[in-house]
Amino acid sequence: MSYAFLPLHVLHTARLGPTMTRVTFGGERVDECASGGFDQRLKLFLPLPGQERPVVPVDDPDWFTAWRALDPSIRSIMRTYTVRAQRPGELDVDFALHGETGPASHWASKARPGDQVTIFAPLTADNSGVDFRPPPTATRILLAGDETALPAIGGILESLPADVSTETWIEVPDPADRQELPSTPIHWLTRTNNEHLTEALPAASITVPDYAWIAGESSTVKALRRHLVQTLGMDRRTVTFTGYWRKGDTEEDLLAEVAAGRTPHTEE
Ligand SMILES: Cc1cc2nc3c(=O)[nH]c(=O)nc-3n(C[C@H](O)[C@H](O)[C@H](O)COP(=O)(O)OP(=O)(O)OC[C@H]3O[C@@H](n4cnc5c(N)ncnc54)[C@H](O)[C@@H]3O)c2cc1C
């Protein structure tokens, strides 16, 4: 199997802004995670309240069915996150903090050194958890997303070769959530200033890119994709778009749709 459940623990945390915290994980097996860079996703398993470590299935080719088959009263909470960075012995995940209702947001806001989690992680860098796949000829790339996509955008910008030019649009809750990123131009939009991707990007006169990558709240992602394909005339095959979350729905709600045969993260 090219993925495995790896037990990790929190080494330290760092507040990156009012609504973002970085959790650095370590553990004996942390270096087995082979991030492909860019927007590498992983599954994060968190303990239920009162548990010391998350209950996960044993490695199983059909791990998702095995996880769902666990008794819900002990089954861990599963969420999807991005590998923001990886160094020998350390792996960073940046969590958007959106209050207490989301178990992952709540967990991250309280995370302390030693807290235990499990990740379901790729063991080879060439893996299906990297969605950023521009055509090899693409030299002009557009990136757009909200704070949940900011870790992936940071990873993409750091992984791209220098001869590729990028234009990046990021909507964050607060001006202090802006981060240093290794590329320009970055158009920062802040919700406290009533700036929104769905209005600002379509209103801007942008050069049509060779490839676009969009992620964030589902309805925003759909609206931006529609603008790129229908208004700017981009070939739909050159736009990668992923709903990272959907207003009013938990990740369990979205997974229930997957289990029912629909794909909420990529649906039109
Ligand atoms: C491929 C992929 C990569 C991702 N990478 C990251 C990442 O690196 N960092 C990151 O922070 N998130 C990332 N996300 C998004 C994250 O998985 C979701 O935000 C997730 O729902 C958070 O879980 P939760 O337990 O906090 O909230 P849930 O229990 O899933 O949801 C509880 C409630 O909060 C709402 N909600 C969920 N997220 C947000 C939010 N950000 N702002 C406001 N309301 C919200 C839901 O609609 C729901 O009503 C990624 C998602 C995908 C699919």
Residue nearest to atom 19 of ligand 1 (CA): 245
196 pLDDT higher than 80: yes
Mean pLDDT across the stretch 152-178?
96
Q: How far apart are CA 39 and CA 56, in angstroms?
A: 24
Domain stops at, among 100, 127, 154: 127
Give the mean model confidence (pLDDT) for residues 190-216.
96
The answer to whether position 65 is within a domain reads: yes
Closest Cα to atom 51 of ligand 1: 244
Measure 148 CA to ligand 1 centroid, in angstroms.
Answer: 7
Residue 47 sits in the same domain as residue 103: yes
Which atom of ligand 1 sits closest to the CA of residue 81?
5
Q: Could you report the per-residue pLDDT of 120-149, keeping only the tens digit for each?
A: 999 999 999 999 999 999 999 999 999 999
CATH number of the domain encompassing residue 199: 3.40.50.80
Name the pLDDT band for 173 (thresholds 50, 70, 90): very high
Nearest CA to ligand 1 atom 31: 250
Shared domain for 120 and 232, answered yes or no, is: no
Q: Which atom of ligand 1 is nearest to the CA of 248?
A: 49
59 compared with 188, residue with greater pLDDT: 188
What is the extent of the structural domain holding 200? Answer: 140-245
pLDDT at residue number 199: 97
What are residue 257's phi and psi, to 5 degrees?
-70, -40
Name residues whose C-beta falls within 8 Å of residue 170's C-beta, 6 or more positions apart in sequence: 144, 145, 146, 147, 149, 150, 153, 178, 186, 187, 188, 189
Residues 202 and 227 in one domain: yes
Question: What global pTM score does this model have?
Answer: 0.96
- Do 114 and 184 lie in one domain? The reply is no
